[in-house]
């Protein structure tokens, strides 16, 4: 089997064929998607998707490490990138390094991702200078939801472009190997992608990006509510509902378990008298 995709290999895909990525949090889903994607993100969206949290803010480092391990066990091809959760890296470059090192050492993943542009550039430089591959994330950054007020697309007015362009340029300059652009208008995504020396990975950021990522449960049709930028490529919720309805009916009518699902005795029972 071929070796795993590395962060430098993703970096070298700039301007070439599109980079394909999905999130995954579980071993079983990882086994299914591993050979189709270039990298898998263990996103802190797991707080909302797996645990029903309103935002990603309560997600802990321990949760990320636990699910990072689950994804590493299920994959052998894709690069695995693990999100640093809110509160685990913003305080100082030293805090970020300490927690990034825990993620790399305890999960065996190949890179970490953190949110923020200009303000995180010194931290990205500190990490990449010490052997930690960093994927950056600018545009809509869900960990800043309390400060932003709501999840909404960025850069839809040209006068708002400057800070986002600067964020993208500074994370690339600081050594990030790729950058996620979340929920930004197409012309801005196109401009940033053309200007940056590293791949842009879009989520709600138009087909002009060097790659695309979606949350797996959203694209499978398992999540109830999804943003405009999600296309449902499947309808898993319907399949699950059908299967569970069939199970409930079968149990209630005693047609399940059937003889083929039932253990008999090893030796034939003597016929009961009476
Ligand atoms: O947490 C996540 O799933 C993400 C992607 C949406 C990029 O950060
Ligand atoms: Na995330």
What was the ipTM of the complex prediction?
0.99
CATH number of the domain bearing residue 196: 3.20.20.60
Q: Is the pLDDT of residue 257 over 80?
A: yes
Q: Which two tokens stand for residue 227?
A: 């943003």
The response to whether residue 203 sits with its C-beta less than 6 Å from ligand 1 reads yes
83 lines ligand 1 (CB under 6 A): yes
Pick the atom of ligand 1 nearest to 56's CA.
Answer: 1
Q: What is the pLDDT of residues 7-39, one digit of tens each?
A: 999 999 999 999 999 999 999 999 999 999 999
Expressed in angstroms and rounded, the spacing between residue 217 Cα and the centre of ligand 1 is: 12
- Does a structural domain hold residue 162? yes
Q: Residue 134 is encoded by which pair of tokens?
A: 């960093």
Q: Is the CB of 215 under 6 A from ligand 1?
A: yes
Q: What is the 3-state secondary structure (H, E, C) of the chain?
A: CCCCCCHHHHHCCCCCCCEEEEECCCHHHHHHHHHHCCEEEECCCHHHHCCCCCCCCCCCHHHHHHHHHHHHHHCCCCEEEEECCCCCCCCCHHHHHHHHHHHHHHHCCCEEECCCCHHHHHHHHHHHCCCCCEEEEEECCHHHHHHHCCCCCECCCHHHHHHHHHHHHHHHHCCCCEEEEECECHHHHHHHHHHCCCCEEEECCCCCCCEEEECHHHHCCCCCCCCCCCCCCCCHHHHHHHHHHHHHHHHHCCCCCCHHHCCCCCCCCCCCCC
Tell me the sheet residues that pair with 39: 21, 79
How many structural domains comprise the chain?
1
Q: What value does the mean pLDDT of the chain take?
A: 96
Residue bearing tokens 């029903």: 52
In the chain, the percentage of residues whose pLDDT exceeds 90 is 93
Domain range holding 200?
7-219
Nearest CA residue ID for atom 5, ligand 1: 43
Answer whether residue 257 is part of any domain. no
Share of the chain above pLDDT 70, in %: 98
Question: What's the pLDDT band for 57 if we cut at 50, 70, 90?
Answer: very high
What is residue 256's predicted lDDT score, i.e. its pLDDT? 98
pLDDT on residue 162 = 97
Among protein residues, the one whose CA lies closest to atom 3 of ligand 1: 43
Q: What is the pLDDT of residues 76-128, one digit of tens each?
A: 999 999 999 999 999 999 999 999 999 999 999 999 999 999 999 999 999 99
Helix axes 161-173, 121-128, angle to 10 degrees: 20
Say if ligand 1 is within 6 A of residue 43 CB. yes
Decide if 2 is inside a domain: no
Residue minimizing CA distance to atom 1 of ligand 1: 43
Alpha carbon separation from 130 to 100, 123, 206, 235 (Å, rounded): 11, 11, 33, 43
Contact 58, 145 (CB under 8 A): no
273 in a structural domain: no
Distance 195 CA to ligand 1 centre (A): 23
266 falls within a domain: no
The verdict on the CB of residue 110 being under 6 Å from ligand 1 is: no
Identify whether 274 is part of a domain. no
Q: Tell me if 259 is assigned to some domain.
A: no
Does residue 231 lie within any of the structural domains? no
Cα–Cα distance, 216 to 56 (Å, whole number): 16
d(CA 234, CA 248): 24
Determine contact, residues 175/124, Cβ cutoff 8 Å. Answer: yes
| Catalytic-labelled residue, pool 62, 91, 157, 182 | 182
274 part of the active site: no
């Amino acid at each position: 089997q071929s070796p795993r995709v590395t962060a430098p290999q993703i970096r070298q895909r700039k301007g070439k064929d599109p980079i394909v990525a999905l999130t995954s949090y579980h071993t079983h889903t990882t086994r299914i998607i591993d050979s189709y994607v270039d990298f898998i993100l263990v996103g802190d969206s797991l707080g909302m998707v797996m645990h029903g949290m309103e935002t990603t803010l309560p997600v802990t480092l321990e949760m990320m490490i636990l699910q990072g391990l689950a994804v590493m066990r299920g994959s052998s091809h894709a690069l695995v990138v693990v999100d640093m959760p809110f509160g685990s890296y913003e305080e100082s470059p030293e805090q970020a390094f300490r927690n990034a090192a825990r993620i790399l050492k305890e999960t065996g993943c190949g890179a970490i991702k953190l949110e923020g542009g200009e303000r995180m550039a010194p931290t990205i430089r500190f990490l990449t200078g010490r052997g930690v591959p960093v994927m950056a994330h600018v545009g809509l950054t869900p960990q800043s939801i309390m400060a932003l007020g709501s999840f909404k697309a960025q850069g839809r007015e040209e006068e708002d472009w400057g800070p986002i362009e600067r964020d993208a340029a500074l994370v690339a300059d600081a050594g990030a190997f790729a950058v996620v652009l979340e929920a930004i208008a197409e012309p801005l995504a196109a401009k940033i992608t053309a200007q940056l020396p590293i791949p842009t990975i879009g989520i709600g950021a138009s087909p002009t990006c060097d790659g695309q990522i979606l949350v797996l449960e959203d694209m499978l049709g398992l999540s109830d509510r999804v943003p405009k930028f999600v296309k449902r490529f499947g309808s898993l919720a319907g399949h699950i509902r059908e299967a569970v309805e069939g199970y409930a009916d079968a149990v209630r009518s005693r047609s399940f378990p059937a003889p083929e699902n039932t253990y008999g005795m090893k030796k034939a029972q003597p016929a009961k008298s009476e």
